[in-house]
Amino acid sequence: MNFRTDLALERKEYIRKGELDGIKEEKKEVHGVYVTTITVENEKGEKLLSKPKGKYITVEIGSFMKNADLFSDKLTALSEELSSLIPKEGTVLVVGLGNEKITPDALGPKCISLILATRHISEEFAKAIGFERLRSVAAIVPGVLGTTGIETAESIEGIAERIKPSCVIVIDALAARSTERLGTTVQITDTGVSPGSGVGNKRNRIDKNSIGVPVIAIGVPTVVDAATMAADALQNAGMSEEETERLLRSYEENELMMVTPKEIDNVIDRAAALVAMSINSALQPDIPAEDILAIVS
């Protein structure tokens, strides 16, 4: 398993049959949308999948490029899966990871610009403008280590200590193995995240251990590593795993390269809108999604 991917679903495909000890998989169709939940149950599963213990929910939403319709069953399906993981009470801190100046890495920051922040709105004012129940939400873009000098985990910890959220939701761009996944799949997990896995390098993990409250990560694959793509081409051509690995070493310069859809700017815009609105809907179930969109956009 030398292919880089942040999707539990893709990692599982490379485990040999009969070896699924510690890993559970459930598939369902909700509102016409395919949802796969992979649960890593124990250390055995962690080793097999190279992913920490917890749930990995994959929602297949098809091509964003061909469907601009935001208020669809995709939104409902995503929102429901998210709701199942979010505590019912307390402030939720939503965090957009990634670098807004690198298009395929800008998913997180773009999402945050569409999240309805409400923590500063008093109950009286909320009622006065017609919102009976408004969940307390804060939304931040911590920036990347290279430009802030601060690990994302440090920023989130510092702010979480101040505002005491009951849960943190982090949004990040992911890397996939297959180009078919780009912009067409959403992964939701209760295991947190290692910032920068989408485009840059691994950083301090952001999860319940480091932050002290549940950390839900929601991501969309936006890039395939160039080396991974070349390896795929070789294996599809019948080359052995060993031979592929040997050849890949000659592709090291390609670590600076990524594969993205030609329409990546559109893919990011649409994925950001869908993810942000599914978070908004999960957090404010009493406000129609259309009304929230009118406020944030």
Q: Is 250 helix (H, G, I), strand (E, B) or coil?
A: helix
Stretch that binds a copy of itself, among 45-53, 77-85, 174-182, 212-220 (CB under 8 A): 174-182
Show contacts with a copy of itself in window 179-198 (CB under 8 A): 179-180, 182
Site membership for a copy of itself, residue 169 (CB under 8 A): no
Told to check if 294 binds a copy of itself by CB under 8 A, we report yes
Q: Does 120 bind a copy of itself (CB under 8 A)?
A: yes
Tell me the two tokens of residue 87: 């505590």
CA nearest neighbour of 108 among 263, 262, 222, 257: 222
Q: Which stretch binds a copy of itself (CB under 8 A): 122-130, 189-197, 249-257, 281-289?
A: 249-257
Question: Cα(140)–Cα(135) distance, rounded to whole angstroms?
Answer: 16
Q: Which is nearer to a copy of itself, 256 or 286 (CB)?
A: 256
Half-sphere exposure of 10 (CA within 13 A, CB side): 24
Is residue 159 at the binding interface for a copy of itself, with CB under 8 A as the rule? yes
- Choose one: 33-41, 188-196, 230-238, 278-286; the region binding a copy of itself (CB under 8 A): 230-238
Residues in the chain: 297
Residue closer to a copy of itself by CB (options 39, 179) is: 179
Q: What is the DSSP letter of 113?
A: T
# residues near a copy of itself by CB under 8 A: 71
113 binds a copy of itself (CB under 8 A): yes
Q: Closest Cα to residue 228, out of 187, 176, 264?
A: 176
How crowded is residue 149: how many other Cβ atoms within 10 Å of its Cβ?
8
Of 47-55, 125-133, 158-166, 274-282, the window that binds a copy of itself (rule: CB under 8 A) is 158-166
Stretch that binds a copy of itself, among 22-30, 214-222, 225-233, 279-287 (CB under 8 A): 225-233
Candidates 10-18, 24-32, 210-218, 231-239 — which segment interacts with a copy of itself by CB under 8 A? 231-239
In the bound state with a copy of itself, the residue whose beta carbon lies nearer, of 45 and 143, is 143
Placement of tokens 């040999």 in the chain: 16
Within 20-49, the residues that bind a copy of itself by CB under 8 A are none
CB of 161 to a copy of itself, least distance (A): 6
Nearest to 26 by CA among 18, 16, 17, 34: 34
Interacting residues of 208 by C-beta distance below 8 A, sequence separation 6+: 192, 214, 215
> What single-letter DSSP state applies at residue 98?
S
Distance CA 208, CA 217 (A): 11
For residue 220, the one-letter residue type is V
The DSSP code for 206 is B
264 binds a copy of itself (CB under 8 A): yes
Matching residue, tokens 């893919």: 267
H/E run at residue 50 = none
Q: Which is nearer to a copy of itself, 21 or 243 (CB)?
A: 243
Strand (E) or helix (H) holding 56: strand 54-60
Query: Could you say whether residue 274 binds a copy of itself (CB under 8 A)?
Result: no
User: Rule CB under 8 A: which of 128-157 touch a copy of itself?
Assistant: 136-143, 145-151, 154-155, 157
For the segment 43-82, give every residue that binds a copy of itself (CB under 8 A): 68-69
